[in-house]
Amino acid sequence: MPLYLSRFSYTPETWARLISNPEDRRKAAQSYIESVGGKLHGFWYAFGEHDGYTLWEAPDNASMAAVAAARGRERALPGARAAGDQWRRCA
């Protein structure tokens, strides 16, 4: 399966929620990708323009788009993008 590298940024509301109720967001990310038959390989927080990066394995571009659309509907990750502002296959 192809690998996808993405970056994300949380909204101020999401940060406030995480501060008041800390949780491991990797589990949520993992459940989204597994729902389309994929696998989470990495989840890293960062300093700078983006709050974090993820490395996913997914069956195809349509599966990745489904995960991106589901995450976007939640409005928690308005800055979620892959390299080049699109979901990018890494392998």
Average pLDDT score over the chain: 79
Band of pLDDT at residue 84, cut at 50, 70 and 90? very low
In the predicted model, is pLDDT for residue 80 greater than 60?
Answer: no
Q: What pLDDT, in 10s, does the model give residues 44-76? A: 999 988 888 989 898 988 888 888 777 665 554
Q: What's the pLDDT score for residue 40? A: 93
Q: Which two tokens stand for residue 60?
A: 């195809």
Compute CA 83 distance to the chain's CA centroid, rounded to the nearest angstrom.
12
Map out the domains of the chain with their CATH numbers. Answer: 3-89 (3.30.70)
Name residue 19's amino acid: I
In the predicted model, is pLDDT for residue 83 greater than 50?
Answer: no
